[in-house]
Amino acid sequence: MTTLVWLRDDLRLTDNAALSAAAEDPDGIVVLYLLDEVSEHIRPLGGAAKWWLHHSLHSLQQSLTHFGIPLVLRSGAAEEVIPAVVTECAADRVFWNRRYGPAREHDAKLKAVLRQSGVAAHSYPGDVLFEPWTVTSQSGEPYQVYSAFWRTCTSGRDPAVPLSVPKHLKSSQNLAKSESLDEWRLTPSAPDWATGIASRWQPGESAAQQKLEEFLETRAQRYSRRDFPSEDTGSELSPYLRWGEISPRQVWHRTLRTGGDVGLFLGEIGWREFAKHTEFHLGPLHKRNLNSRFDAFPWRLKTDEAFVAWKSGRTGFGIVDAGMQELWQTGFMHNRVRMITASLLTKNLGFDWRLGEAWFWETLVDADEASNPFNWQWVAGCGADAAPYFRIFNPDLQQKKFDADGAYVGKWAPYSLTLPKIIDLKSTRTHALQAYHGLAR
């Protein structure tokens, strides 16, 4: 018989619990990636994410070929495709690593269907340090405040030690038919807007490991300067974590082995963990305000010229325009600049945070279904442990503080210096605060 390994956001061979468990099957395995954008609870990918996925799958194909294992590619609804592949390859077991967002309901239903048909279905720990149901407050409720959440995470047991590549990986003789990666057309062609993304990023598990080592050896010592966008101090691991080319457990344990002051960096891993846990308990995060008081907030719900100016980096606020240009050209934006651009859109321009979140979902290579809306809600003031609504990121002051020499703006949007500013910050801030205080009336 055969064990089918169903990969999702875990495109790696190391620290892959489902793959390691399946490798014990003496009859061999079939490895499947399913492009499912039609099933309920599945959010279709944005354009930049599709580009990354294409190249990540290509890298994974090469890694599996080393062991003589083909990567089976299929598209469609999982509830239809998975049973079909099980039949084709005569699989008696299906293994996968867990998802923690709304898709877990879909996984649970599929697991029940498989078991009813006599196929063993098992799931394993996914892309978190700790399973969400193991980290709760004393009352048994999920945490609403990050500091308390992270103290609990770091005061107990350590995250599981990462697994190595399985020693015995063997392909099953019962293969399933595969679609062509190129036929999926995940990369743009007419026009090819991804040339800047391709020049900045190299997807894949090997590249993820190299990125982590490079960061720890050269930039981690300067991580306290991470808020300065022109300084090369960030880890840039977020897309690799998003696609599971490296696991948070691998990052955690490797970072601790370096020694030194790594608390700030591991805290960022903790913030990602907090987003994942919040999505598990309260998701989906991109559809509704976590703070229901904001359901009555008078957001601007329709896009107009002001939204287009923000999206295209033509606001006249240098650091905002630079961030939006960096995003469009590279599929990435510096973290502090993400907060500044989001604040301008929601608290000065008054647009619904979901409009901005959707644009980031389309253009970020690291667009994650938990972290992306979680962070937007945090800035907008309606999320878990959100910044107080009156904390508005003034883009002019932020630029003076974190890009005083203009290096970041000069690199990405020098033209912005000649543009008129599309809004008056003082008046729009006053209007935003009046609207917020109106919620309590």
Q: Range(s) for CATH 3.40.50.620 in the chain?
A: 2-126
**Could you confirm whether 335 is annotated as catalytic?**
yes
**Could you confirm whether 268 is annotated as catalytic?**
yes
Q: Which residues of the chain have pLDDT under 70?
A: 440-441
Predicted pLDDT of residue 259: 82
Predicted pLDDT of residue 440: 63
The catalytic residue among 150, 252, 376, 378 is 376
Predicted pLDDT of residue 140: 85
The reply to whether CATH 3.40.50.300 applies to domain 127-160+205-282 is no
pLDDT digit string, tens, across residues 137-161: 888 889 999 999 999 999 988 999 9
Question: From edge to edge, which strands make up the β-sheet containing 120-124?
Answer: 71-75, 29-35, 2-7, 91-97, 120-124
> Strand pairing of 2-7 and 91-97?
parallel
Class of domain 2-126: alpha beta
**Could you confirm whether 353 is annotated as catalytic?**
yes
Predicted pLDDT of residue 441: 58
Q: Range(s) for CATH 1.25.40.80 in the chain?
A: 127-160+205-282
The catalytic residue among 299, 328, 361, 378 is 299
C-beta neighbour count of 11 within 10 angstroms: 25
**β-sheet bridge partners, residue 351:** 300
The catalytic residue among 6, 52, 150, 271 is 271
The catalytic residue among 310, 353, 378, 412 is 353
CATH no. of 292-440: 1.10.579.10
Element (H, E) at 72: strand 71-75
**β-sheet bridge partners, residue 32:** 6, 72
**Could you confirm whether 376 is annotated as catalytic?**
yes
The catalytic residue among 268, 291, 362, 394 is 268
Predicted pLDDT of residue 387: 78
Q: Range(s) for CATH 1.10.579.10 in the chain?
A: 292-440
